[in-house]
A and B are shown apart, each in its own frame.
Chain A
Amino acid sequence: MVDRIAAGDDAALGEVYDAYSPLVFGLALRVTRDRGVAEDVTQDVFVNLWKRPDRFDPSRGTLRALLAAMARNRAIDLVRSRTASARREETEGRLAATSASATSPGDVAEAAIRAESSEAVRRALDALPDEQREAIGLAYFGGHTYREVAELLGIPEGTAKSRLRLGLQRLGALLAAEGVTA
């Protein structure tokens, strides 16, 4: 399919879009929590695939993985850019007193979980120890890597990775018990 895209076949791009846009848009929405920005991310991802299909190397992973990584990276770039912009504006005194900095990363992730998770996942997340739920919230719903999770929580990378893995293992078991996963 990517060979067809490289050959200028717009129908192939349409097929890839149809197959993967729910994942790309969903990921972008999860990270940015803004439908307009998520649309921009989605457009960027597929137009970039059209522009540089050679970025896809089947020996390094699937097309899904590439698109997911592109979506996530682009979304995080946009969020960071907006955050930096907001901070600049704050410094210049153009923001209201209720600054975004009053909200911790954990709060944001928690809010995302509350707003967007289905009941089953929410119940499973609620059943996790706080430290594991916080790590998963930041990584999955906040769009951060485990390295960033470690930085945000002020813990060693190994600890962040361990919390993520243990939390995901437990989450998997809880979801399986709820009949959510196969």
Chain B
Amino acid sequence: MSSRDELDVLLAELGIEADSAGDVLPALSGLADQVRADAPTRLRDQVLRSADQVRPIGAPTVGAVPVGPVEAFRRQMTVLAGLGAGLTADDWDRPAAPYDWTVHELVAHLVGVERYTGAALGLWSFVADPGTEGDHVRRTDAAVAEQRLRPPADTLAEWVRLATAIADHVEAGGPARLADELTFEGWPFHVDSMLVARTFELWTHADDIRRATGQPMDAPPPEVLRAMASVSVGSLEVAVLVVNPDQAGRPFKIVLTGPGGGTWTIGEPGAVPEATLVADVVDYCRVVARRIEPDALAADRFGDPALVRDLLDASRLLAA
């Protein structure tokens, strides 16, 4: 009772400034004991129901409405293009960890990725060099080698051209095209989820460039993060089976804090989650993007630790 916390409460009640009431704590504490009273049991459910009406359970206070997948892709494309446009000649030659590329070669890699992506969408043809078909990095070796001989600005312009064509093509197809299925990086995807997975990649490589050139890391705006987090968490129910089939059907809950986060409970309606992960939405997305190791994620983990671990491993499959 004689805590500073208790004093704060009672000062708020009495409207007494903190510096004038340090010596009245014993009396205030005694009075506080008189104040507590149990509300009727039914009031708890009533409060939770009313809360759901003013803001749906699961929705964050900031960034509740995600942008669509094309918009998410375009936004990160614009960010990366702007970042590239501001680089100096020295910046383009800096090493871009964690790869054995320079910044220029990293953007050249994206040229290769867009060629592959456009082909997966039926926009153009692309034939990977033999033996590189299933390798996200090596598949773009040819594009990297080719672009290395061009000025960085031309490589950037080529990447923007290809990425824009992809966004335009998907947008022109409307909702039906977004719902199309395709095989991408060896996994079955819908076009909308694939574009969000690509959004993760554009964000991550933008941060790679920032890190390489001594600029502060950045996060997408809340409405883009919300789209990324929603698709990532939405994939976990299936993805966790790839990691560990024994986790089939086990309910879990993901709480991502910060603007653009949210709460997702996966499982049968009313099922009690067997594991809950609470983490910052940007940090979680960096786990998805493989820039933070699952064990290094600052998070609260409740319930079965093995299930939490498998969920985090599964989250990394989306942007693999």
Contacts and interface: CB of A to CB of B under 8 A. Distances in A.
B14 A26 contact: no
A145 interface: yes
Interface in B26-69: 26-31, 33-40, 43-44, 46-48, 50-52, 54-62
Interface in A34-91: 38-39, 42-43, 46-47, 50-54, 61-62, 64-66, 68-69, 72
> Which of B27, B31, B56, B278 has the most chain A CB within a 10 Å cutoff?
B27
B39 A180 contact: no
A10 interface: yes
A39 B54 contact: no
B248 interface: no
Given A22-B39, A39-B39, A117-B34, A68 B13 contact: yes
Contact of B14 (A29, A116, A139, A172): A139
A182 B29 contact: yes
Interface stretch (A92-100, A101-109, A163-171): A163-171
A169 B24 contact: yes
Given A10-B48, A13-B48, A65-B9, A169 B27 contact: yes
Contact of B27 (A29, A118, A172): A172
B5 interface: yes
B252 to A, nearest CB: 13
A27 B255 contact: no
Contacts of A169: 23-24, 27
Interface string B10-29: 11111110001101111111
B152 interface: no
B318 to A, nearest CB: 20
A61 B44 contact: no
Given A29-B37, A43-B43, A10 B51 contact: yes
A22 B38 contact: yes
A47 B11 CA distance: 23
Contacts of A168: 21, 24, 27-28
B267 interface: no
B306 interface: no
A153 interface: no
Interface size, B (range): 35 or more
A16 to B, nearest CB: 10
B271 to A, nearest CB: 13
A68 B9 contact: yes
Interface string A1-15: 001101111111110
B258 interface: yes
B2 interface: yes
Contacts of A116: 34
A14 B30 contact: no
Contacts of B23: 165, 169
A101 to B, nearest CB: 25
Contacts of B281: 7
Contact of B39 (A25, A30, A176): A25
Interface in B133-150: none
B218 interface: no
A9 B25 CA distance: 35
A9 B263 contact: yes
24 contacts: A7-B60, A8-B262, A10-B52, A10-B263, A21-B38, A25-B38, A25-B39, A25-B43, A29-B37, A39-B39, A42-B39, A47-B51, A47-B54, A62-B5, A65-B5, A66-B12, A68-B12, A118-B33, A121-B34, A147-B15, A165-B23, A171-B30, A181-B26, A182-B1
Given A4-B257, A68-B13, 7 more contacts: A8-B263, A25-B43, A65-B11, A117-B34, A165-B20, A172-B29, A181-B30
Closest 8 pairs between A and B when the two form their complex, measured CB to CB: A145-B15, A172-B26, A172-B27, A65-B8, A168-B24, A26-B37, A171-B27, A175-B30
